Structures are given as structure tokens and as C-alpha cells.
Amino acid sequence: MIETDICIIGAGPVGLFTVFEAGLLKLRCHLVDYLPQPGGQLSEIYPKKPIYDIPGFPTVDAQELVDNLMEQARPFKPTFTLGERVEIINRLEDESFELITHLGTQIHAKIICIAGGLGVFEPRKPAIDNLDKYEKKGVEYMVLDPEKFRDKKIVIAGGGDSALDWTMFLANVASELTMVHRGEMFRGAPDSVEKIKKLAEEGKIKLKLNSNVTHLHGDEILEKVTITHNDGTPHEIDSDHYLALFGLSPKLGPIANWGLNIEKNAINVNTRDYSTNVKGIYAIGDINNYEGKLKLILCGFHEAAIMCHSAAEAISGKKPTLKYTTVNGVNAF
């Protein structure tokens, strides 16, 4: 059982800044995110995209902002459960919470802060009839541990940055790697596309364009895949793993079942402290809803600060004293 003061559901920029604000009040945080790394959609979807509305930064790349937030949070020693989704929340006798992820990780927290952005980012799955049969038995939608693919035969499908980046990385890990893309033009960075083509020319990977993975084979685990060209020509290849990297789509997910007041896929909150209708659970960032709501990162930062002071009061029973970092500095644990 992981013990923490605040369990933050969502490790995007607002969730990461919450660690800093909570740390100033001597509250420890544990973050849970379904993505394999902190940063939310900034890291997963547009890491190189410039952001222009962060105070003090005329422009900052999305991943640079995430890296800075991680550095800002580091003195307060946050802990993470990544690649997992909170499925169940139980209220305990002392009014604290037990959270259980879909992989069985248990977290005990005094306060829950939902900073899930647009919700749980779930993988976009290809239309393959027997796909479900091989999930966790050879079919993967994200890379959590690259060493899992050491000396294995891998098929990667997709045409965006994630597919390109992991193809380049795993080309030196896998014993055999085939990249499959339904068209000829990729959606990723031009430099990455050139590197992929060079790997194919050098024989380090096999590149199948105008093609799709259409069927999976194997008794208990994945053993082969069928790749079908757009002209209808199929052929089978041996494969230990099929990585379907078609991006992610946001969904509210299990949050919808936690008894919260939800309107238009967002959680209604009290703007006094961004608390929900369930005592001890707060919602900040793009996941919440209130009159005048602006879905901006900087608004989420404001909400995080207010929420942490309310959480500190709920935990200790007394209102915390506002201390200015310009006077007191940053005192870590």
C-alpha cells in the first residue's frame, strides 16, 4: 500500500505543479497516470509545440515546460505510478481513501486531486477482429519497458511521431522489426521520417507502406501477423509483439463511476476551493467545470494553489499560513 497525503490523478502540467504547491505546505504527493511518462498530452501528443501563455516565458516548448515542472517538484520527492489507471475509490472509516488501479496497485490517501486534463487518454485501437485475444499477450499500445522487446520480433504500426520514435529506438533492441503504415506520407517530424527510410535502406528494419495489419495468429500468445497491402495482397510474418501506435483519445473513463457531479464530460466544482460534491475529492485543470471556466494551463496552476490550501486545512483542521517564496524560499522535506 502506497501512503501519501494527496493522490493526484493525472501527471500533466497541472498535476505536476500541484506537487510544488502541496510541498510548500508540507504535504506529500503521489501521482497516477495511464501514460508511461509524466507530462500528459504535452509529452505524449505535442512535445515540440511552442506554448505562448505561460507567465514569464514568451515561448516555451511543451516538453521543456514539463521538464521545468518536474525540476520544480523534485525537492518535494513526488512518487509516481505510471502506465496505470485508477479504477476504484473506496472511502475508509477515517474519511481517507483507498485507490486501486486496473493493475491492482493500492494507494492510501487523505485527499484526492483529479487533475486528469481531458480524462484518461486511451489508445486508439485498430479494427482487427481478434485483437482483444492477444492484449498483454503480444499486443501493446504503448512502450513502458523497452527491454521487454530485447531480441524479439516486433511489428510496429502507425504513422505519427510515437511510431517513428519507437521504431528508431527499438531498431537497436529487437532482433527483427517491421514498420507498417497505411499510406506513404507520415504525420511525424520530417527528420524522423528520413531516419526511418535510411534504416530501411540499410536493412535494419523492414518498411511496409500502403499496408495494414489485418489479422493476428497464435494459440495462447501472439506468434504471427498478417500484413495486407492496399491492393489486397496478404502475407504472414513471424512476430512476438505487435505495437499498435495510433495515438491516444481522451475519455472520462472510470471517473464517471465515482459519484461526482459530471456535466458535459467535466466535473462540476465549487470555485471557492475547486472541491467536488464528494468530500475530500478536488478537481482542477481541464477536467473541471464552472461558470467562466477557461481551459488554460495557467488557470489550472491557479486552481492547484487554491486547492492545496483547502486540502491542507482539511487534513490538519486549521487554516495554513500563506508564506511567500520570495521571503521564505522553498523549504523541502
Residue 8, phi then psi, degrees to nearest 5: -100, 120
Which has more confidence, 119 or 178?
178
pLDDT > 80? residue 7 = yes
Confidence bin at 89 (pLDDT 50/70/90): very high
The CATH architecture of the domain made up of 125-246 is 3-Layer(bba) Sandwich (3.50)
The CATH architecture of the domain made up of 2-122+249-328 is 3-Layer(bba) Sandwich (3.50)
Domain locations in the chain?
Answer: 2-122+249-328, 125-246
- The pLDDT of residue 146 is 86
Give the whole-number percent of the chain exceeding pLDDT 90: 75
| pLDDT 10s digits, 266-282 | 999 999 999 999 999 99
pLDDT > 70? residue 121 = no
